[in-house]
A and B are shown apart, each in its own frame.
Chain A
């Protein structure tokens, strides 16, 4: 075999191999996702953990239909409010203990913030009240919060705000607004991080 034969063979070998080394394609996973329109049966996924906290069926629907939201009434220490807030005035002794003195109201800007009756129903203290006078249940406070924070509510319904509880599959249960946000001072407090990253030596 002459030198020329060898060089030709070698060249062919290399060209052939470079072709097989994967041509760059322009396809992206985004295209695959856009074309995936078949309904996925969430319930087909065998779950290992169940949601233990009490949840109620939400009064609105998201893009996948109905969903559940964590109940809040059990977390409110002195619910039902009507046990104290009846037509009768509250006695001074009870009042001293129970006048909600521990609540710091910092909702909105400093001088134009919300007051108590902006959200709480002035007559029926077991409910909240929106700006149209409708009674809103504590478990469904999102209907009230969403009046002003409509963007966050829209995102929360869709899933871009808030979080699912425990599972990504199965029946959808999400955190309620007040599970994460203290309604009286909703902004998250500054704190130290849970940990830090060490510099690699």
Chain B
């Protein structure tokens, strides 16, 4: 008797689970969902799809499916650079000269920063922002200068947002940027190998290969990396036209970027913009593999140290005192 009751109960509730709702309810629900979905999707999910010419679409299609830069042949590199130059002209009516020149043989770039000579003028920062086409809207700066109290070498004890007459008596100034570590934790962390260390020691990012996961930014101990949270905005007359694919070309939104030791300059023998701009000569740059270079002189004769040496990242950026 009880088993039959249970079975009836089960049948009734089983049918409850399958109870037909009225067709009207169902259709109403479905139509609202469809309306919401389509409204959402059409409110600009696909960025800048308006008024694109067929040439531009073809270029963007080819750019979308290209390989990682490191795996490209020189012809493919030249082809992608040509496409990007053309896209820059079509999109923003901007004529740029983009290069894809490879690293120089027998060169390993090194950098030294004289904390006795830095007076906190921040000329390096403005030069870097201009040279590397950094986003003006968010005031992105690869270089940070800290006003430090003597007795501590840790930037966390310093003030990175000063804006008064410098130098202040009995304070010293220390700059940071990407240190281009030989054992970079960022290159190890990247899941798609969009960032790697070039043979000449520069840690670069293939902006088009990056998926924007920001794991490298979590991994960097020196606050060396910046992310393009929005679309970068640079006034047209201030854009530096001589660019390199891995360097100062205008980055797409949602990609990681960083100091590249001005790869577009240094691979052609020029000094990085920060070194050239420094009015006190606090910055030294050169080839670590050249025993007669200035950077080797500094490493040999000056008291040098590196930041957070205990982390084992092996950076190629030293600080020294006079």
Question: Which A residues lie at the B interface, using CB under 8 A?
Answer: 24, 28-30, 32-33, 36-40, 42, 44-49, 62-65, 151-152, 155, 158-164, 166-170, 175, 180, 188, 190-199
Q: A33-B108, A45-B268, A180-B281 are in contact. List 7 more A-B contacts (CB 8 A).
A: A24-B312, A29-B314, A30-B314, A36-B290, A164-B271, A167-B270, A192-B164
Residue of B163, B165, B281, B301 contacting most chain A CB atoms (<10 Å): B281
Q: B277 — nearest CB in chain A belongs to which residue?
A: A194
- Residues of B within 8 Å of A64, CB to CB, are 290, 292-293
Chain B residues within CB distance 8 Å of chain A: 104, 106-108, 110, 112, 114, 117, 119-123, 125-126, 129, 139, 141, 144-145, 160-167, 182, 242, 265-266, 268-271, 275-276, 278-281, 283-299, 301-302, 312, 314, 316, 320, 322
Nearest CB in chain A: distance from B211 CB, A: 22
Q: What is the distance, in angstroms, from B283's C-beta to the closest C-beta of chain A?
A: 8
Contact across chains for A29 and B316 when beta carbons are under 8 A apart: yes
Q: Are A160 and B290 in contact (CB under 8 A)?
A: no
Closest chain-B Cβ to A197's Cβ sits at a distance in Å of 5
Indicate if the CB atoms of B290 and A163 lie closer than 8 Å: no
Question: Distance (Å) between the CB of B200 and the closest chain A CB?
Answer: 11
DSSP majority for the A interface?
A: loop
Bound Cα distance A158, B291 (Å): 11
Q: From B292, which residue of chain A is reached at the shortest CB distance?
A: A64
Selected contact of B280 from candidates A37, A46, A63, A180, CB within 8 Å: A180
Bound complex: CA A36 to CA B292 (Å): 11
Of chain B, the residue at the smallest CB distance from A158 is B297
In the bound assembly, the distance between CA atoms of A188 and B276 in angstroms comes to: 18
The complex places the Cα of A197 from the Cα of B134 at a distance, in Å, of: 13
Q: Contact: B302 with A160, CB < 8 Å?
A: yes
Q: Which residues of B contact A62 (CB under 8 A)?
A: 292
Lowest 9 CB-CB distances: which A-B pairs, in order? A159-B294, A64-B292, A40-B290, A169-B269, A158-B297, A48-B268, A196-B163, A193-B122, A29-B182
Nearest chain A residue, comparing its CB with the CB of B316: A29
Please tell me if the beta carbons of B165 and A191 are within 8 angstroms of each other in the complex. Answer: yes
Q: Cβ of B139 and Cβ of A194 under 8 Å apart?
A: no
Contact A193 B270 (CB under 8 A): no
User: Which residue of A37, A40, A188, A193 is within 8 Å of B293 (Cβ)?
Assistant: A40
